[in-house]
Structure 1
Amino acid sequence: MNNEQLKQLKAMVEEAGDLPEAAKVRLLEILGQQEAEVESSQPEGASEVQGKLLSSVEEFEAAHPEATSFMGRLATTLANMGI
């Protein structure tokens, strides 16, 4: 779950009128813990690293179109087999 999803879930719990107060408090505590874990696991600049990785993959695909095509067909075949 990413941080945005956690915020949406937290808002839904806060707005829920049919939940007992003790359950709301406990759910909000759990969501707070999850938010802290998500924030600590994603260092600042993670989007930069992700961008560099995507760029490297695109360069590989351009440099090796036959290998990329083969891997795509292989993945499709395995998916069709249920693997």
Structure 2
Amino acid sequence: MRSTLKSCTALAAAGLLAVQPAFAQVAALGAGEGQVNIVAWAGYIERGETDKAFDWVTKFEEATGCKVNVKTANTSDEMVALMN
């Protein structure tokens, strides 16, 4: 029983390792759209309003030229409504 289980496990693992993705890896990015819209829980996307030490949004905008538009939600229902 154990040898059968080991054999089946080995065959399954070998089969998983042999599978290759059907798509090519991205080598370059196209032109950006200039902005990104994010819906997040309050406190997750920081622009430094609550704590100056946690301001990744401004640095991201400066580094990429991409404007970050943030909408925050307090409940799951609010989050779904903001995504529509």
Q: Same fold (TM over 0.5)?
A: no
TM-score range, shorter chain: 0.3 to 0.5
TM-score (normalised: structure 2): 0.37
Q: Which one has the bigger strand percentage?
A: 2
Q: Which one has the bigger helix percentage?
A: 1
Greater CA radius of gyration, 1 or 2?
2
